[in-house]
A = this chain, B = another copy of it.
Amino acid sequence: MAIRIFITGGTFDKEYNEINGQLFFKETHLPEMITRSRVTPEVEVTTLMMIDSLDMKSGDRELIVNQCNNAKEDKIIITHGTDTMAVTASVLAGKVEGKTIILTGAMIPYKFGSSDGFFNLGCALAFVQTLPAGVYVSMNGRYFTWDNVRKNRETGIFEEIFQATPHTSHGS
């Protein structure tokens, strides 16, 4: 079955507006990236919105939830701004079941030479095919479960909130 990609905007898809010198949203680069990646799994791309994740409101998240529930696919990638990616993941976790959902994004816009976006899309596409049903964030070459991830605003790096305890003490 096809993999569904929902676009919500974020740094990933920002363009440079040469008239006013601001970054803005025009169209998603996902179709161009899909072509360039030469993927053979069938991929369906739908743009839900094109916004900064700091501007995402609860109504926007409800829309994403509904789209995930209504999608016929059970493997879903969501491109999303990094700042509130973990928030949307936690909203989805309570309301969508039986699907593997990967949220991903980029620290640098795809159109910048140094962007991590194309790499991140590769990670997300691989994780969505191999992880069991659940909601995950994929950034920095890793995946995180929705309930144990945050973006470190100072470093720009995604990290776990709680470190796994390597040796569970027993008997105490």
Q: Count contacts on A: residues with CB < 8 A to the other chain.
A: 49
The answer to whether B113 and A118 have CB atoms under 8 Å apart is no
Q: A157 near B: Cβ within 8 Å?
A: yes
Considering only residues 81-121 of chain A, those with a C-beta below 8 Å from chain B are 107-109, 111-116, 118-121
Flag whether A49 is at the interface (Cβ < 8 A): no
Q: Give the residue among A114, A118, A131, A140 with the most B Cβ atoms within 10 A.
A: A118
B114 and A122: CB pair below 8 A?
no
A39 CB contact (under 8 Å) in B39, B111, B141, B153: B141
Which of B108, B121, B126 touches A127 (beta carbons < 8 Å)? B126
Pick from B112, B122, B125: contact of A121, CB under 8 Å: B122
Copies in the complex: 4
Tell me whether B111 and A112 are in contact (CB under 8 A). yes
Partner of A38, one of B16, B23, B116: B116
State A114–B41 Cα separation when bound (angstroms).
Answer: 20
Minimal beta-carbon separation of A138 from chain B (angstroms): 7
* B40–A142 CB distance below 8 A: yes
Asked if A47 CB lies within 8 Å of chain B CBs, one says no
Task: Please pick, from B118, B127, B129, B157, the residue contacting A40 in the complex, using a CB distance under 8 A.
Answer: B157
* Alpha-carbon distance between A25 and B141 when the two chains are bound, in angstroms: 27
Task: Please list the 8 inter-chain residue pairs (A to B) with the smallest Cβ-Cβ separation, ordered nearest first.
Answer: A122-B122, A39-B141, A126-B126, A130-B130, A119-B122, A18-B107, A122-B123, A123-B126
